[in-house]
Amino acid sequence: MSTLKADAVTAKSTNTDVVITGAGTGVPDIETGFKVSGTAGLPVNNLRTGTDGELITWDASGDPATVAVGTATHVLTSNGTGAAPTFQAVSAGGFTLATEQSTTSGTAVTFGSIPAGTKMIVIMFNDVSLDDTGNIDVHIGDAGGLETTGYIGQAFYFDTSGNTGDGATQGFKVMAGNAGYAFTGTMILTLEDAANFTWTGFQVNGEYPSSGLSISGGIKSLSAELTQLSVTSLSSDFDRGAINIMYQ
């Protein structure tokens, strides 16, 4: 092997590149820490021209590659070790709103097909009333059916004449005060323990025109992942309003 030593190498002809070529499959081996125009390292503006919007990465073999340009509003997403990232649409996220169900008749409305992985459910009561005095239970369930026992909780109803309390052992309870008066408010169910499928519930509903207020809280564990819930009148029929849920 021969070594050429020089402090500077200049092209012989004007406006001519200096070309260093390896023999056969060999390539020029430039020492670490080389400079360009007196400054260490290769400046970004000296990279080969590419496509606007692409990013530099390495593929599964460790070879240089580019990430293809994404669509406007897409975000760069990791695909894990050994795979190049890609631009992908942002996941929808947030709550999914179900289809509203009328409570103008019957004793129950059921929301099924609640997807796996759900950790929070909001139940919305819109002007819901019963044709006689009675309470409302929310039953939750898994693929094996709705559960009507094993709840632990307490419910209260307040109005200008005082308050009434009752245990909530058959469901997450909405305690009513007067027949023909309507509830409007919200119940929130949250997954407290995913391993034991344990859900907590809390609700506040205002009853009008009686100036009444229903408050309750409770807890219930299922035998499998929650897939459905039912809002059920305990002793009378629904005669007004609607109920909907949203979940995430």
Residues of the chain under the 70 pLDDT cut: 1, 92
- pLDDT for 229 equals 98
- pLDDT for 1 equals 63
Does this model's pTM top 0.75? My answer is: no
Q: Which residues on neighbouring strands pair with residue 130, listed in sequence order?
A: 238
Please give the C-alpha separations between residue 242 and each of 124, 182, 238, 245, in angstroms, as whole numbers: 8, 11, 10, 11
- pLDDT for 192 equals 98
- pLDDT for 150 equals 98
Contact 182, 240 (CB under 8 A): yes
- Rounded to whole angstroms, the Cα distance separating 189 from 47 reads 56
Which residues contact residue 98 at a Cβ distance below 8 angstroms, ignoring those fewer than 6 apart? 111, 244, 245, 246, 247
- Rounded to whole angstroms, the Cα distance separating 176 from 205 reads 9
**pLDDT tens-place string over residues 78-116:** 988 888 889 888 776 799 999 999 999 999 999 999 999
- pLDDT for 10 equals 86
Of 93, 121, 89, 104, give the one whose Cα is nearest residue 199. Answer: 121
Domains of the chain: 51-91 (no CATH), 96-247 (2.60.120)
- pLDDT for 134 equals 84
Helix (H, G, I), strand (E, B) or coil at 67: strand
Of 122, 138, 141, 148, give the one whose Cα is nearest residue 225. Answer: 141
